[in-house]
C-alpha cells in the first residue's frame, strides 16, 4: 500500500461543495491500495503512520507522533482520502498508467478497512468517500510531506 502523509494545520475534503471531512492540526493521509495488497499491509501502514514522528517537541525537533498530540489537548486528527493516482507509472510517456492500482472492489475494501482500523486506534478520524470526485483543501505545516510504501 502507498500513502502520502502531509502534516497540516487544517485540512478538509468536500464533494459537490459540501464538506464531508475536516480536521485541525494533524495528518492528511492520501492512501492507495495496489494489486495484491491485503489487510496485513493496511495494518502495517496504519501502524507506521500513527507512530511517524513528524511533530515538533519542546526543543523544536520532529520527535512526536500524531497520537502524542492528544496529550497537548490538540487532538491531532487524521483525514484519510483515497487516491488511486498514487500508483501512477509515468515511465512510458506523458500519460500516466494506473495498472498497479488495485481493482476498484479491492481498493474500496482496503480503504474501508483502513479507515475502520484508524477509527479503532485513534481518537479523531475523518475520511473522504471512495471513488468520489473530491476537492481537498489543506494548510501544509512546514511543509512536511512524507511518501510511504509498505509491502
Number of domains in the chain: 1
Distance, in Å, from the CA atom of 21 to the CA atom of 78, rounded to the nearest integer, reads 10
Tell me the CATH number at 96: 3.50.80.10
Find the catalytic residue in 35, 47, 85, 116: 85
pTM of the model: 0.95
Distances (CA, A) of 34 to 41, 45, 100: 10, 13, 6
* 85 is known as an active-site residue: yes
d(CA 50, CA 14) in angstroms, rounded, equals 24
| Chain centroid, CA 37 distance in Å | 16
Which has the higher per-residue pLDDT, 131 or 151?
A: 131
Say which of 6, 41, 83, 117 is annotated catalytic: 83
Catalytic residue chosen out of the listed positions 25, 55, 84, 114: 84
Q: Give the position of cell 491500495.
A: 33
Contacts of residue 105, Cβ cutoff 8 Å, sequence gap at least 6: none
**pLDDT at residue 20 in the model:** 98
Please give the Cα distance from 75 to 60 (Å, whole number): 19
Domain hosting residue 35, numbered range:
2-149
Q: What tens digit of pLDDT does each residue of 99-143 get?
A: 999 999 999 999 999 999 999 999 999 999 999 999 999 999 999
| 83 in active site | yes
Please give the average per-residue pLDDT across 85-98, as a whole number. Answer: 95
pLDDT tens digits, 45-79? 999 999 999 999 999 999 999 999 876 666 799 99
Amino acid at each position: 500500500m502507498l500513502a502520502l502523509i502531509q502534516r497540516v494545520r487544517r485540512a478538509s475534503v468536500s464533494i459537490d461543495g459540501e464538506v464531508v471531512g475536516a480536521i485541525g492540526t494533524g495528518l492528511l493521509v492520501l492512501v492507495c491500495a495496489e494489486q495484491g495488497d491485503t489487510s496485513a499491509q493496511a495494518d502495517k501502514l496504519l501502524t507506521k503512520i500513527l507512530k511517524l514522528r513528524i511533530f515538533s517537541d519542546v526543543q523544536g525537533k520532529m520527535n512526536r507522533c500524531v497520537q502524542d498530540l492528544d496529550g497537548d489537548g490538540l487532538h491531532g486528527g487524521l483525514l484519510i482520502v483515497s487516491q488511486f493516482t498514487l500508483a501512477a507509472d509515468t515511465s512510458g510517456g506523458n500519460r500516466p498508467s494506473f495498472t498497479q492500482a488495485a481493482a476498484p472492489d479491492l481498493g474500496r475494501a482496503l480503504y474501508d478497512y483502513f479507515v475502520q482500523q484508524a477509527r479503532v486506534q485513534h481518537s479523531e478520524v475523518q475520511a473522504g468517500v471512495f471513488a468520489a470526485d473530491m476537492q481537498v483543501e489543506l494548510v501544509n505545516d512546514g511543509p512536511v510531506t512524507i511518501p510511504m510504501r509498505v509491502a
